[in-house]
């Protein structure tokens, strides 16, 4: 689990295919561009201190995404319903993407994954995607690979944490400082797949009795296998995937 990666390059998708499905009565005569982003937030780009006191800095955070879809839904999709998303308009990206959420350093922007240049106008208020095992590149065989350095009380550890659990995330509207997914005729809008890594490691700046820290694993179990044994990771329970601060329904294999 803690071997060093053999490469540090993202997989580059050479051609993208955007599939559009219009429901009964739909009109795709006016279109714009819808861009899809992946965001590991400042936790990944700038590092943070875990709930058990480890200062974590990431070199790479490779995550592999597939079957990315955006929807126009009415009524809005509710993740707590545990049901499938039923959209009158649906856009699907027909590729597998491995992106490095830590790319370009501390002040980098979220990573653009792909775009659909002929998206029908309207509000895309739901999104879904799958975490799948990479078939090539630095994350081959895993859905998520994190590499970096952690330090606590003078002890420094180089780590590689690899997770192979495949999951499907179904999410409602993005929750944040601005609304996303509003495609106007000839305009450009974006949607974001957000990943909260404090949900895995916890956050020292959050009270230890907060639900976030109570549900997080922390960092210590990943480096002290002799004490903790194999780390039991349930991605559905950790709630890694979000849309900003909005929640997703996560189903893992």
Distance CA 27, CA 50 (A): 49
Report residue 9 as tokens: 């390059």
pLDDT for the residue 91: 95
pLDDT for the residue 24: 38
Which distant-in-sequence residues (6+ apart) come within 8 Å of 58 by Cβ? 44, 47, 102, 146, 147, 148
User: Phi/psi of residue 227, each to 5°?
Assistant: -90, -40
pLDDT for the residue 3: 38
Report CA-CA distances (Å) from 214 to 10, 42, 197.
Answer: 33, 21, 14
Distance CA 246, CA 244 (A): 5
Which run of H or of E encompasses 223?
helix 220-223
Work out the number of other CB atoms within 10 angstroms of the CB of residue 94: 13
Work out the number of other CB atoms within 10 angstroms of the CB of residue 109: 10
pLDDT for the residue 81: 85
Distance CA 252, CA 168 (A): 6
The closest of 92, 97, 94 to 64, measured between CA atoms, is 97
pLDDT for the residue 106: 83
**What does the radius of gyration of the chain's CA atoms come to, in whole angstroms?**
19
Report CA-CA distances (Å) from 169 to 83, 107, 242, 252.
Answer: 11, 27, 8, 9
Write down the pTM of the prediction: 0.88
Q: Which residues pair with 119 in a beta bridge?
A: 32
pLDDT for the residue 228: 60
Q: Tens-digit pLDDT profile for the chain (253 aa)?
A: 433 333 333 333 334 668 878 653 445 579 999 999 999 999 999 999 999 999 999 999 999 999 999 999 999 999 988 778 999 999 999 999 999 999 988 888 999 999 999 999 999 999 999 999 999 999 999 999 999 999 999 999 999 999 999 999 999 999 999 999 999 999 999 999 999 999 999 999 999 999 999 999 999 999 876 566 567 788 999 999 999 999 999 999 8
Work out the number of other CB atoms within 10 angstroms of the CB of residue 10: 17
Contact 31, 93 (CB under 8 A): no
Three-state secondary structure call for residue 222: helix
Distance CA 205, CA 208 (A): 9
pLDDT for the residue 28: 57
Contact 3, 146 (CB under 8 A): no
The closest of 213, 234, 232, 231 to 222, measured between CA atoms, is 231
């Amino acid at each position: 689990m803690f071997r060093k990666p053999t490469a540090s390059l993202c997989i580059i998708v050479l051609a993208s295919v955007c599939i559009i499905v219009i429901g009964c009565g739909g009109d795709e005569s006016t279109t714009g561009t819808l861009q899809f982003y992946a965001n590991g937030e400042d936790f990944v780009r700038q590092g943070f201190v875990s709930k058990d006191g480890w200062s974590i800095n990431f070199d790479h955070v490779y995550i592999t995404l597939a079957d990315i879809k955006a929807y126009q839904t009415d009524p809005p999709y509710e993740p707590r319903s545990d049901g499938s998303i039923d959209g009158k308009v649906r856009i699907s990206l027909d590729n597998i993407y491995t992106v490095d959420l830590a790319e370009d350093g501390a002040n980098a922007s979220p990573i653009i994954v792909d775009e659909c240049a002929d998206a029908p106008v309207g509000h895309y208020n739901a999104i879904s995607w799958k975490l799948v095992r990479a078939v090539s590149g630095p994350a081959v065989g895993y859905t998520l690979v994190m590499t970096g350095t952690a330090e606590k009380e003078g002890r420094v550890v180089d780590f590689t944490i690899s997770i192979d659990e495949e999951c499907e995330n179904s999410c409602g509207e993005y929750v944040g400082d601005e609304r996303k997914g509003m495609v106007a005729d000839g305009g450009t809008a974006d949607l974001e797949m957000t990943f909260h890594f404090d949900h895995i490691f916890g956050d020292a700046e959050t009270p230890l009795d907060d639900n976030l820290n109570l549900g997080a694993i922390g960092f210590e179990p990943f480096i002290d296998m002799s004490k903790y044994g194999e780390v039991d990771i349930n991605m559905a329970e950790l709630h890694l995937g979000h849309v900003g601060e909005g929640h997703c329904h996560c189903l893992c294999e």
